[in-house]
Structure 1
């Protein structure tokens, strides 16, 4: 079958978060199940550079205020369609933010254009291209199901929510420019508490809805985590499901990763020790193989629970442990992290910013990777940790529950477990779990067994790609 995927970012071409990793890795995994994927992306400068002199398949004379072209090319092993609309996408900054850090004022039009272009392509508007189904990702592609609902011929569409907290809400004054029928501007459509809701539109009009983990699919149907959309999500009933994210295990491979100080695999985990020493040197930590080393990689935000890590620091230091942190985010948390490093030289090391090589070293050199998120649709840090032999210590939420087997007493008795859960998500419970981890760290035989379990864990896309392929075919059967 032929699938059109639609997203606002895609690794390795343009990335701000885990969405890009999913969009970049899933096509290769789906190919194993007979699904041929073409990915439609906005024509950001980086994407256009990557496809080079790609040919133009169709010109659109007026796409929300300017001329656009649909260009086809390949990059990063992906079959791409690129919406080359300079008036919308040829600008500096991130995909969503201007260089001053504020959102682009016309983000509503920019990503409405992506949805309109996707509908044009999916319904046969580009000669020589036909598709059986469409997979739209997150709010930036939320209007894809809306445009397709009012287009012919019908194409079934799957809408995936990567993080319900980001919803894409814009003023009602945008609606007349969208080219949708008047009936779309209602509670049974785009209207959302006096705004136009892109993510809400995707939830309403899609044939099927997925989130990036089964537990998160259940959580967003509750008032606590539904972000105001729980009623709609419950109303979609059996059309909502969760499919756990995976990793591109060819890219995330400690046996071949050139960024590491020493490569290793499940058959020779002892070589991880060189990465621990390299990480300690890199972040100014005391070079001590016997010190339990906790690592953190990610956004330094309240949602990610970094304040809980800083609050639990006395428990870590009391056990003789070290802490290595890498990330950027909220100013207050960044400053708190820098302050902790200044107050505890040789015990706490912090790099504020992003460095891919250092991130890989944190996963390969830490003994434990902290993922204390207050909510987490799926998360990739715990999957990377498992792949690189670090035991994840995770909050008992979302995809973290689904992807990490807790080393509790029953699991230990059965030789299972590859990480640690804590709940409720509080500083006190994180500190208590740190003490549980430290006790197991001192039992070297048990620790080696847990690490072996982590390295053997299948974090690939294999199972999840099969579920996506089955869901596409189910949508197609229902559509007739």
Structure 2
């Protein structure tokens, strides 16, 4: 087999162009790494309004998608293909104003677009047409989440007799199994899903079409973003209802831990910080702590443990037990800084908490990248008490910044954090954070207290900070692991 592969990343977002979550980080990092490793990699994504404002592109050709190819109501929809470049990787944008010229990627004012299923079905079909128009014959089409989940189905059914794709295989990565895109079965014809495949082993899910489920059934290989989350997705409790379909595909399913972008997240070079620092000289970290306290008008106190959080305000992130634990914990001599946006009810609860403890707690309802960097650098501990966490990146950022993560023992948090053990002194020289198990207030509160005790044990604290800052999660290793999956799909 040739060492160089032709790889198409079919994504709904790409860090550096448009981003709402971790999917964009993976797509933005893996493409350039595959190129560095000698492969011909291209990216294809929708031409959102924001993407066109960010990336310089030119229209290179056009095509059309055949809707309802097997029905009397069949019609065609045209699209343009725009081409640009991101970190040396060609990026193709599928331009169709009706579907993609909108203010948001998936939502407007917090509500999902009612035609999201049709939008991304159109994108999947157009991506396959675009490859032929551009004469790019991929060995691997790597789709991501439900937005690309129809690609494996279309390739194996609609393109079954197409010699152009005879050597093409598909990989589907699940970034968050909770998002599956259930839709009305009345759309079967619009989506081009033959009724033969509308059954519980493929697309049918309690009377609805489930796009992610169908993608899992048809993809040649399926991955997710950490080994532990791969295990959880095979259990009834942790699978978001996907255990049956993933169990059927167990031999083709694996977990690959995401990497970390150390070009952006590195305290030695981070230009968003008031002072840079390294493991050899941590004085800049204390300067960042003071700057964070001053920026948010908290009392400047070098000796008080400061706990930070940067998060989406969503049920997944564990706020149902974090907020009660903080009400209890803020009775102590500590400081807590919280930044996030999302659920308005959660935001109101956090603001009430901050108002009640004005000298100890601050809440910023927003996502401010410069503040996020300062929280990572200026905090002593970072809160990630997730109900579930497929991979997580903030715990990796925190460790690099010498900020010890406090995490629940789930998903990628288990795969990346070595938890402190009070009774195991030798183990704790290698510990990089704190970990608790049960998803409840008591377990989290105990973990917060444990971290506070260690904070005042300077020897243990210094040892853990050193271990955390030396931990490394590179995209190069992730890329090599994905290449292994690609090659196994082509055998």
**What TM-score do you get using the length of structure 1 for normalisation?**
0.94
Is 1:11 equivalent to 2:15 in the alignment?
yes
Deviations 1:408-465 (A, max 9, x none): 2476414201101101121100111111111111011211111111111102212221
Match of residue 430 from structure 2: 416
Structure 2: distance between partners of 1:131 and 1:197: 26
- Cα distance, 1:182 vs. partner? 4.2
Structure 2: distance between partners of 1:125 and 1:291: 61
Structure 2: distance between partners of 1:348 and 1:338: 9
Is 1:261 equivalent to 2:277 in the alignment?
no
Distance 1:384 1:451, change over 3 A: same
- Cα distance, 1:192 vs. partner? 2.2
Q: Secondary structure at the match of 2:121?
A: helix
Q: 1:460 aligns with which of 469, 474, 478?
A: 474
Is 1:142 equivalent to 2:160 in the alignment?
no
Contact 2:35 2:89 in 1 (8 A): no
- How do residues 190-339 of structure 1 correspond to structure 2 at under 5 angstroms? 190-339=203-352
Contact 1:284 1:345 in 2 (8 A): no
Is 1:30 equivalent to 2:34 in the alignment?
yes
Is 1:54 equivalent to 2:53 in the alignment?
no
Q: Secondary structure at the match of 2:112?
A: coil
Q: Secondary structure at the match of 1:297?
A: strand
Q: Secondary structure at the match of 1:225?
A: coil
Contact 1:190 1:200 in 2 (8 A): yes
Is 1:448 equivalent to 2:466 in the alignment?
no
Deviating more after overlay: 460-469 vs 346-355:
460-469
Match of residue 365 from structure 1: 378
Deviating more after overlay: 250-259 vs 369-378:
250-259
Q: 2:484 aligns with which of 466, 470, 477?
A: 470
Unmatched segments (≥5 aa) in structure 2? 68-74
Is 1:82 equivalent to 2:82 in the alignment?
no
Q: 2:107 aligns with which of 90, 93, 97?
A: 97
Contact 1:255 1:263 in 2 (8 A): yes
Structure 2: distance between partners of 1:301 and 1:181: 36
Match of residue 70 from structure 2: none
- How do residues 119-134 of structure 1 correspond to structure 2 at under 5 angstroms? 119-121=128-130, 124-134=131-141
Structure 1: distance between partners of 2:85 and 2:424: 46
Q: What CA RMSD, in Å, does the superposition of the two structures yield over aligned residues?
A: 1.8
Structure 1: distance between partners of 2:302 and 2:132: 61
Deviations 1:91-112 (A, max 9, x none): 12x21112x4322111111000
Q: Secondary structure at the match of 2:483?
A: helix
Contact 1:136 1:159 in 2 (8 A): yes
Structure 2: distance between partners of 1:10 and 1:460: 18
Deviating more after overlay: 409-418 vs 267-276:
409-418
Contact 1:24 1:78 in 2 (8 A): no
Match of residue 361 from structure 2: 348
Contact 2:313 2:342 in 1 (8 A): yes
- Cα distance, 1:77 vs. partner? 4.7
Is 1:428 equivalent to 2:442 in the alignment?
yes
Deviating more after overlay: 374-383 vs 73-82:
73-82
Unmatched segments (≥5 aa) in structure 1? none
Q: Secondary structure at the match of 2:330?
A: helix
- How do residues 68-79 of structure 1 correspond to structure 2 at under 5 angstroms? 68-75=79-86, 77-79=88-90
Contact 1:13 1:76 in 2 (8 A): no
Q: Secondary structure at the match of 1:105?
A: coil
Match of residue 115 from structure 1: 124
Match of residue 71 from structure 2: none
Structure 2: distance between partners of 1:58 and 1:451: 54
Distance 1:102 1:315, change over 3 A: closer
- How do residues 375-394 of structure 1 correspond to structure 2 at under 5 angstroms? 375-394=388-407
Deviating more after overlay: 402-411 vs 200-209:
402-411
- Cα distance, 1:65 vs. partner? 6.4
Deviating more after overlay: 366-375 vs 441-450:
441-450
**What TM-score do you get using the length of structure 2 for normalisation?**
0.92
Deviating more after overlay: 150-159 vs 371-380:
150-159
- Cα distance, 1:176 vs. partner? 0.9
